[in-house]
Amino acid sequence: MDFDGIPLLDPQIYAQQGPPHDLWTDLREKAPVRRFEVPILEPFWAITRHADICSISRQPDKFLSAPGITPLPKDQGLIDRSQGIGAMRVVINMDPPEHRKVRKVASPWFTPRALQSIDAAVDASARQLVDDLAGKTGEGEADFATEVAVRHPLRILATALGVPREQEPKILELSNRLFAPDDDELGGGTQPEDFQKLGMEFLELFLPIIEDRRKHPTGDLASVLANGQIDGQPMGPMETLGYYLIVFNAGHDTTKNSLAGGMRALIEHPEQFERLRRDPSLIPLAVEEITRWSSPVNYMKRTAARDVVVNGQKIPEGDALLMFYGSANRDEAVFDDPFRFDITRNPNRHIAFGYGEHFCMGAHFARRSQAAIVSELARRVEHWELIGEPEWIAASFVVGLKHLPVRYKIARS
Ligand code: HEM
């Protein structure tokens, strides 16, 4: 238990080893609510047990999202919130009562019933990607992280948000710069001016779409956001843009990382993949297990609105709490044999999609899009094996693999 908070948050340590499961296991057992100091960030309480995270997430009046969902730099002067990304107020960092009003703008579009409108696009994307892998011969080598996991949610979200196909590479680049600023390959820098520039580029991309959907609404998500109203008033441009951003970014990075982690787990557990091939009715359970296993949103921050007590520990007003979902999803108090990947796990009370007030708005969307790929792979993969070490992204907020080199044999249709 003799460690500081750095390995819990340092992107470079995640790049080398992935999420710190050994440390979390220790913390869950010995210090489930523990305060850490780190050099450049505000101090934080690491919350590592499932029950404590659920309890905090159920009390948005005591544990606030508005002060931010990631730890702030110690020197807050480093961030200029008046421009760029910092100026956007988005649903994920709002508190009730405002949060509920803003959530209602888009939540009807995300119900399982409403999402039937994208069923055809989701299945077509999965089929196309696996067709591309199969190519002419039905066999080959590919990076399944970049060729499959990245492309599938990108295509579906771009379709829902009205982004023309030729601009997909651009939104992918922007999303990488936002979520993996520290990654040499994916990021675009961590300075305030880098984020301001990023905000402007998102604006240039999304504003013309917003304007178009205001004039010519269709039933797509882009139209729902462009014409959203709060208290009977149209949303302002920054609110609308912020909504676009959160939906695209929260939806893309997370789903791709879940899928990449899931494909790796299925390759490394061939007996599980075999069961899935024989019994496709297991796909919904498999998708839940993949999401638990990958837990792509590593943590969310809350700020104590007043002096509070969590699991017997006093926490002063204004302190930051980081709820580590990756840890909660391996909590031995909730999951039998939590480090076993088991596509038949049922019940599976994972909280990879969060819990309570801010429960992921895109959870059905994410389940549906992952199921399409898993199902296509289960139907068509005849053989797959890793041909190199999978590589982790240098990021500790949304975590996952950036490379997954695979040799495969896939049925051509
Ligand atoms: C495997 C994929 C995904 C995971 C693991 C995931 C995880 C999460 C988590 C943990 C939260 C809760 C944040 C909190 O409590 O502070 C959240 C919120 C949210 N997610 Fe997801 N997400 C995924 C996919 C998506 C998709 C596909 C979309 C949209 C297309 C989406 C949109 C959102 C939005 C808008 C919120 C904010 C909800 C609110 O503040 O009320 N997510 N997500």
Atom of ligand 1 nearest to the CA of 99: 41
Q: Which two tokens stand for residue 159?
A: 């379709």
Q: Which spans in 116-236 are helix H?
A: 119-134, 144, 151-160, 168-179, 192-215, 221-226
1, part of any domain = no
Residue 392 has pLDDT above 70, yes or no: yes
pTM of structure: 0.95
106, part of any domain = yes
Rounded Cα–Cα distance for residues 131 and 410 (Å): 9
Give the pLDDT of residue 79.
Answer: 46
**Confidence band of 78 (pLDDT split at 50, 70, 90):** very low
**Confidence band of 318 (pLDDT split at 50, 70, 90):** very high
Ligand 1: residues with CB < 6 A are 57, 65, 69, 91-92, 103, 246-247, 250-251, 254-255, 258, 291, 296-297, 300, 325, 352-354, 358, 360-362, 365-366
Atom of ligand 1 nearest to the CA of 160: 30
Give the pLDDT of residue 39.
Answer: 86
**What's the domain range around 386?**
6-410
Percentage of the chain exceeding pLDDT 70: 95
Give the pLDDT of residue 186.
Answer: 75
Query: Cα(361) to centroid of ligand 1, in Å?
Result: 5
Number of domains in the chain: 1
Q: Is there a contact between 400 and 255 (Cβ–Cβ < 8 Å)?
A: no
CA nearest 291: which of 368, 191, 215?
368
Mean pLDDT for the stretch of residues 91-111: 96
Residue nearest to atom 14 of ligand 1 (CA): 358
Q: In testing the pocket of ligand 1, which one of 93, 350, 360, 398 has its CB within 8 Å of the most ligand atoms?
A: 360
Residue 83 has pLDDT above 60, yes or no: no
249, part of any domain = yes
CATH number, domain of 101, equals: 1.10.630.10
CA nearest 61: which of 33, 89, 97?
97
Residue 373 β-bridge partners: none
211, part of any domain = yes
364, part of any domain = yes
296, part of any domain = yes
Q: What are phi and psi of 29, to 5 degrees?
A: -75, -45
| Span 133-179, pLDDT tens digits | 999 999 999 999 999 999 999 999 999 999 988 998 888 888 878 76
Q: Is there a contact between 246 and 178 (Cβ–Cβ < 8 Å)?
A: no
